[in-house]
Amino acid sequence: MSTTVNFKCICTLLFLGLAFAPSISGNRFCLIQIINKNGTSAPLYAEVAETEEARRRGLMHRKEMPFNRGMLFVFEFEQRLNFWMKDTYLPLSIAFIDKDGVITEICDMRPLDTSVIRSKMPARYALEVSRGWFAKNNITQGSRIPFHGCVGK
């Protein structure tokens, strides 16, 4: 086997290990593909916050996040969701997502702002990304996320 093939194999394994390994916070990452209204898919590595503690902590106290990463908040059932930016230093956008994976609303949020952002409709999921990521990838209300095993239905 050549050195080039070994190097490619090692790089691929390293990439997969980092992409799906638990984050520093202990949450796992999941690669999701968000499909815009034109049918174009945008990949995003989402840290999954599926426990009460992980959802409460969210992205608080973080000073940086790669542009192609985000945090997916998973709730047990659809409900009106409330978020704020207390102790969150990153400018973010949030998408509220229904039980079928359809984005119902996107809002921009300001760092350290303690005013509450409330979903207008019941949502089962919320996805926080760097502000500008949704616009750059043409992700709007009506875009969809086929979770494909990333989260339980």
CA angle, residues 89, 85, 94, in degrees to nearest 5? 100
Is 72:102 a contact under the CB 8 Å cutoff? Answer: no
Q: By C-alpha distance, which of 115, 91, 104, 101 is closest to 144?
A: 101
Indicate the domain borders of the chain.
Answer: 24-136
Q: Is it true that domain 24-136 has CATH number 3.20.20.30?
A: no
State residue 61 phi and psi, 5-degree precision.
70, 5
Q: pLDDT of the chain along its 153 residues, tens only?
A: 444 444 343 333 334 444 444 444 567 899 999 999 999 999 999 999 999 999 999 999 999 999 999 999 999 999 999 999 999 999 999 999 999 999 999 999 999 999 999 999 999 999 999 999 999 999 999 999 998 778 764
